[in-house]
Amino acid sequence: MNLGKIVCATLAGLMLGTGYGKAQTGATPPRVNCTMRKTALSDAEAALARDEYSAALNLYREMAKTDPNTGKAGTIRTLIEQNELNEAVDQSQAWAKAEPKNAVAIETLAEELFREGELANAAANAELAHTLDTCNARVYLLTARLDDMKGNFATGQKHIELAHRLDPVDPEIRWQWINTLPRARRMEETAAVLREDKVLASKRKERVADALAHANDSEKDECTMIRRIESDRVAIQPMLDGKRVAGLALDVSFNGKRRRLEIDTGASGLVLSRGAASGLGLLREQKTASDGIGDEGEVATSIAHVESVRIGDMEFQNCAVHILERRRALDIDGLIGGNVFSKYLLTLDFPKMELRIDPLPKRPGETDKLTASLDTTGDEASKAVVAIDKNEESHRYDRYIAPEMQDWTKVYRIGHNLLVPVTMTDEKQKRTSKDKLFIVDTGSDSILISPDAASGVTKVHNDYTVGVHGIAGDVKRVYSTEGLNFYFAHLKQPVYEVTAMDTTRLSHDEGVEVSGLLGATVLHRVTLHIDYRDNLIKLDFDPEHDRPGSAH
């Protein structure tokens, strides 16, 4: 390959594939010769990558005097990273309006729309930018992110490979590309980033270096099933606070000792409180940090491995667990994320108090080569969607919707979080919202909404009578709204009064606006079916088995 020239197919051509397997194309798309970036990382790019926002803003604004496109785009990206979204919106929209034929302006607007959670508009503007400039690497980056959120991982890999070939220097492109590589190559490329020492904030650098130092521990993370079971049924247990049901849980045995873990689709992997971990004889192998709801900062976390984990009739060996070291982080034994069962079709039948796992539908032509296992690390989104055989190359697939699942709801996924589009109405105000993204979170006591999302539909006021607490402590400022109707996944849920809290940090971490959480008051009244591989959910509501009293 001539490294100076890259042949790019049109984005539309690459996006025609919608089936399973490797991304398919329709008619042969036109091809364009593109030039690979050969310039070094700029000081402004490096400052932004290290989260040095003030320095980055100054450098980009100075750059705009001689290179308007790079300077303006970098300024807007820095504002987005600073959570200065109003200013980013104003600047990106004004720029795109003033220069509607400028591919960089349109692509930057698409990035801003993506961060706002307006994914359809972001995709449309990315496609427009691509028609203006087929060689814009960041168009391919943004499209790869959208592909991955939809579950189109084969197409997403094609897009990020193109982005990286066009611009191997851009830090965001580089990290996205690294995360698609096989484990050994991923470790090599990560080590190369550490050696360069230019694009990592000090805290992140420490964590990346620590993760790399413990890379060999990942060999233990297979959490394989000792005796293969295709399907299983496990009783869901109530977690009582006096007479009140405070949560729904599974009994899980660690090395023969029982712990009761709350079923929490908003959590990832197996999580133990410090108290619950004591007495299990666990060797803490790696230090990291966990974040979540609350304003008291990250929680020091240790990673250990358990020789045996038993859930119902299923027994697994060599499983990773995360231990929250802050004493007040959890007042229960721990959490079990829904993504632990991401290699299965998961059913949480809350009305009947039963968890069920069944095989995922086979893609056409797929053979059964995978070892039955659990994803207890929760640190690699691709584990549920990348078929890996130790003796073969890994393959990424696009979303496959089996004939019997055509009525399931397509959702977005970032890591372990499932994001479902929700529309809200206030019948008194006669106002309706645009689609907003909410996380499906069985561990949240109730529906929570951001004040910004709520204020577009109804009235929001301070509420000093309600407390919200998560693993990161208490939320300092809590609000309430007037009654709203929520529409999602073919269901309607009226809520008389909705608790609101700021979701800025959560949205920043996810890279897209999260407008709220769909919690237990809704989810514990339905049967929730989840296909993590293909980013699909289904909610069944049966009035005869309704359990409104079970909600928190």
pLDDT tens for each residue of 136-170: 999 999 999 999 999 999 999 999 999 999 999 99
| pLDDT on residue 9 | 55
pLDDT band at 197 (very low <50, low <70, confident <90, very high): confident
Residues 6+ apart with CB under 8 A from 178: 186, 189, 190, 193
Q: Beta strands 473-474 and 469-470: pairing type?
A: antiparallel
Query: Percentage of the chain with pLDDT > 90?
Result: 66
For the beta carbon of residue 492, count every other beta carbon within 10 angstroms: 11
Which residue ranges does the chain devote to CATH 2.40.70.10?
224-393, 414-541
| pLDDT on residue 244 | 76
Mean pLDDT of 203-214: 82
| pLDDT on residue 30 | 52
| pLDDT on residue 471 | 84
- pLDDT-wise least confident of 41-50, 228-237, 410-419, 540-549: 540-549
- Asked if 531 and 538 touch (Cβ cutoff 8 Å), the reply is no
H-helix or E-strand spanning residue 307: strand 299-311
| pLDDT on residue 66 | 97
Residue 392 has pLDDT above 50, yes or no: no
Query: Percentage of the chain with pLDDT > 70?
Result: 87
| pLDDT on residue 382 | 38
Nearest CA among 504, 497, 499 for reference residue 482? 497
Residue 18 has pLDDT above 50, yes or no: no
| pLDDT on residue 537 | 97
| pLDDT on residue 11 | 56
Q: Return left, alpha or beta for 119; rule: phi > 0 is left, psi -120 to 50 is alpha, else beta.
A: alpha
For the beta carbon of residue 545, count every other beta carbon within 10 angstroms: 14
More confident residue, 23 or 224: 224
Residue 118 has pLDDT above 70, yes or no: yes
More confident residue, 122 or 548: 122
- What are the Cα distances from residue 194, in Å, to 51, 212, 218? 16, 10, 19
| pLDDT on residue 207 | 82
- pLDDT-wise least confident of 23-32, 105-114, 299-308: 23-32
CATH of 224-393, one of 2.40.40.20, 2.60.40.4070, 3.40.50.150, 2.40.70.10: 2.40.70.10
Residue 6 has pLDDT above 70, yes or no: no
Q: How far apart are CA 92 and CA 179, in angstroms?
A: 29
| pLDDT on residue 528 | 96
Nearest CA among 213, 216, 211, 209 for reference residue 194? 209
Encode 251-279: b = buried (16+ Cβ within 10 Å), e = exposed: bbebeeeebbbbbbbbbbbbbbbbebbee
pTM value is 0.90
Residue type, 384: A
pLDDT band at 527 (very low <50, low <70, confident <90, very high): very high
| pLDDT on residue 372 | 65
pLDDT band at 470 (very low <50, low <70, confident <90, very high): confident
> What's the whole-number average pLDDT of the chain?
87
Q: What is the 3-state secondary structure (H, E, C) of 463-526?
A: CCCCCCEECCEECCCCEEECCEEEEECCEEEEECCEEECCCHHHHHHHCCCCCEEECHHHHCCC
More confident residue, 518 or 15: 518
Q: How far apart are CA 110 and CA 107, in angstroms?
A: 5
Does the domain at 43-217 match CATH 1.25.40.10? Answer given as yes
Residue 12 has pLDDT above 70, yes or no: no
The architecture (CATH level 2) of 414-541 comes to Beta Barrel (2.40)
Mean pLDDT of 239-250: 83
Residue type, 457: V
| pLDDT on residue 389 | 38
Residue 421 has pLDDT above 80, yes or no: yes
